[in-house]
Chain A
Amino acid sequence: MKEKNLIDRLFKEKLYNYRAEHPEHVWDGIEKTLSDLEKTSSGTKWMLMGFWGAVVTLTIGGIFWYFSFGSPNPNLSPEDSSIALDKKTKQKASSSNSILSEKQMASDISTALSANVDEAMSTSSAQIEKDNSSLRTNSTVNRISKSGSDLSPMNGKTNMVHTNQIDQTIEASNNTSNVSLKKNNTNDLPTKDTETYYYNESGKRIATSSSLHQDVSPNNDGINLLRSDFSILSSTPSKFISFRLPKSYYKGDPDDCMEMIEKPFRRQYIELLSGPVKANRLFYSTDSTLQNNVINRSQSEKVKNAYFIGLRYVWNLNRDVALKTGITFTKINEKMTYQDGFNVVVETNKAGDTVRITRDPRFKIKDNYYSFVDLPITLSYTWRKNKFFFDFNSGLNLNLYAHQTGFFYDLYNTDKTVTAFDASEVYPFKHFAGISLLMSGTIGYYLGYNTSMFFEPGVRYFTTTLSSKDYPIKQKYVNYRMSIGVRYQFTKK
């Protein structure tokens, strides 16, 4: 038997199953570490559960809220608006004859009519007649009349084909100019139509309210005539699920011209945003024998820089909830540090004899590039304060294409060029990085009517690994990004 085998055999036989005396304090340390780990993992688990629970709840709640309560006034449900209106209009009528009151009243009445149609529909064939004397101001006549009958074959449901005509006239007087306004001769004056649609549960339009606003003031600076027509279009009305605000309404104070406000939702924006990304990559392997490689891989990585740029389309589903989508490009440039052998130093004495040799690890640096093209789809909820707005966004990022070029550690800890990867081996990376979860907050400032700028810190978590199915070392990204962007509203004023 060869001597080298003898040596190997001797040591293997004696030492392979050698049992050393192990001190008890090692177990005490293990027990303490395990307890700490359990506490930490439990805390982290709860935090993660809470985080994703909040995201899911907000997303589902937002969708439910939008489809359930598309109210003209975000703060009022359709059922509440008539009650609130009564209070409002009474206050207005009793306070003054100011043109603002009249104008506000006009707007309010429009809403009241909407609410009352709802009431009429829900009370089936009831006859409703209201005489809102509280709305009389000066020579104002304000009468709301509705009637309906059940024409259904079973006489049990409200499915009548019926048209209610409601005519109202508000003639307002302006205290300051003391000019009485008349509703006649309005043909040559600017007009503004508003429409309110009513939908049943299946989304079919069943009623329409149209109002004619006409400016008959001397300076054409206010609305002081309103006529509303209601028509029920469908033969199968059922519970209303949605109101829509008029396309426009008016507001202002007595000293200023009336300002026309577009409906505050269904706005559309285009956003251009860009910013730096902090990319954290997580390496792991289901094969415990590859732990060294995993550690090598993660320790070798130094992210140099990363950035993203995106174009986003924002569509307001209502005043506060918006859908944001678009396309983004993310680039991550990494520096990888590999150990490349050793630097050997030979030390000699004066006589030139070698006294010792030392060696230090030698490193080389390689570049590594990752690119992602993604389609983000997020829902956002908006809060506004003066010229500022804040959006909370959450949703998904669908990766359209992922690509890597550069170098990486292979399973044998040698660096490989991705572009020259051996075709016989498993290609380590996917070209589709799957779906990521997105969450961000937008802090914006209105620069003008159409333009605003914003900052948007956010986080993106890859739900799937970037490694191909058969490659045993898996990697995921968590990206933290800070964007700066501009938003332009392109809906017509």
Chain B
Amino acid sequence: MQPLNLNEIIEGCQSNDRDCQKALYDKYAATMLGVCQRFARHNQEAEDMLHDGFIQVFENIDQYNRLGSFGSWVRRLMINTCLNHIRRFSYQKELIGIEEMQMARVDPEVMQQFSEKELLKMIDKLPLGYKHVFNLYAIEGYNHREIAAMLGIEEGTSRSQLLKARKLLKKFISNALSTLI
């Protein structure tokens, strides 16, 4: 059987064709799980987010207007699902690191040596607020106004949390490098 192209898969999903839904899932699940892992506290939660996100995709696929990239549309929906998940199971208490961070400058070439999993672990170690702001700003490319709207915080808070997230990540990178050396 000839593999379906993306348009055929989308049309099939709009008709609730289970094979097409599976094909869409296979195409995007790995990348989207990577997105979810950056927002989740643990792997189980990331899988829950992936599940909910794909349900949202299949439920709302009629609304995809084909003007932008389908991958970006799925990604945006997945991020919204992650944020809803966070809000639904709202993390009432959040630990915020306050210690002063003294770090050496980090060499860009050395930084490239880190694997994706190592970087993911560093993001995981961030306090939740920092983690979400950093994910949305640095990796997903949202601006502070959008992040403030998405997370229900002030723009200033978003800026401040991003700054602190960067400082903490630099510290984690420095620590990892010193261990390596």
Contacts and interface: CB of A to CB of B under 8 A. Distances in A.
Contacts of A37: 55, 59
B33 A22 contact: yes
Contacts of B51: 26, 29-30, 33
Given A7-B170, A10-B111, A21-B30, A292 B63 contact: no
B92 to A, nearest CB: 6
A10 B108 contact: yes
A425 to B, nearest CB: 15
Given A10-B119, A26-B50, A358-B93, A15 B139 contact: yes
B89 to A, nearest CB: 13
A33 B50 CA distance: 13
20 contacts: A3-B105, A10-B111, A10-B112, A12-B138, A17-B34, A18-B116, A20-B37, A20-B46, A27-B22, A30-B54, A30-B55, A30-B58, A31-B22, A286-B63, A288-B56, A289-B76, A354-B98, A357-B95, A357-B98, A413-B149
Contacts of A360: 92-93
A17 B75 CA distance: 11
Contacts of B29: 22, 26-27
Interface string B154-181: 1000000000001001100100000000
Given A12-B139, A18-B31, A288-B63, A6 B84 contact: no
B95 A358 contact: yes
Contacts of A295: 84, 87
B114 A34 contact: no
- Overall SS of chain B's interface: helix
B152 interface: yes
Nearest to B83: A292
Contacts of A354: 98
B152 A296 contact: yes
Contacts of A412: 145, 148-149
Contacts, number: 149
Interface string A309-329: 000000000000000000000
B34 A18 contact: yes
Given A15-B123, A19-B33, A286-B63, 4 more contacts: A31-B18, A289-B76, A295-B84, A359-B94
B120 A18 contact: yes
A295 B81 CA distance: 11
Contact of A15 (B34, B77, B83, B105): B34
Given A23-B47, A34-B55, A11 B138 contact: yes
A33 B55 contact: yes
A31 B17 CA distance: 11
Q: For chain B, give the interface size range.
A: 35 or more
B101 interface: no
Interface of A: 1, 3-4, 6-8, 10-12, 14-23, 26-27, 29-31, 33-34, 37-38, 286, 288-289, 291-293, 295-296, 339, 341, 354, 356-361, 411-413
B80 A292 contact: yes
A389 to B, nearest CB: 46
A14 B119 contact: yes
A26 B94 CA distance: 29
A354 B99 CA distance: 9
B69 interface: no
A288 B21 contact: no
A292 B37 contact: no
Contacts of B154: 341
B96 interface: yes
B132 interface: no
B169 A7 contact: yes
B150 interface: yes
Contacts of B153: 341
Interface in B58-113: 58-60, 63, 73, 76-77, 80-81, 83-84, 87, 90, 92-96, 98, 105-106, 108, 111-112
Nearest to B31: A19
Contacts of B93: 358-360
A357 B95 CA distance: 6
A157 to B, nearest CB: 60
Contacts of B58: 30, 34
A292 B84 contact: yes
Contacts of A358: 93-96
Nearest to B38: A15
Contacts of B92: 360-361
A62 to B, nearest CB: 37
Q: In the complex, which of the residues A16, A20, A22, A34 has the most CB atoms of chain B within 10 Å of its own CB atom? A: A20
Contact of A27 (B25, B37, B137): B25
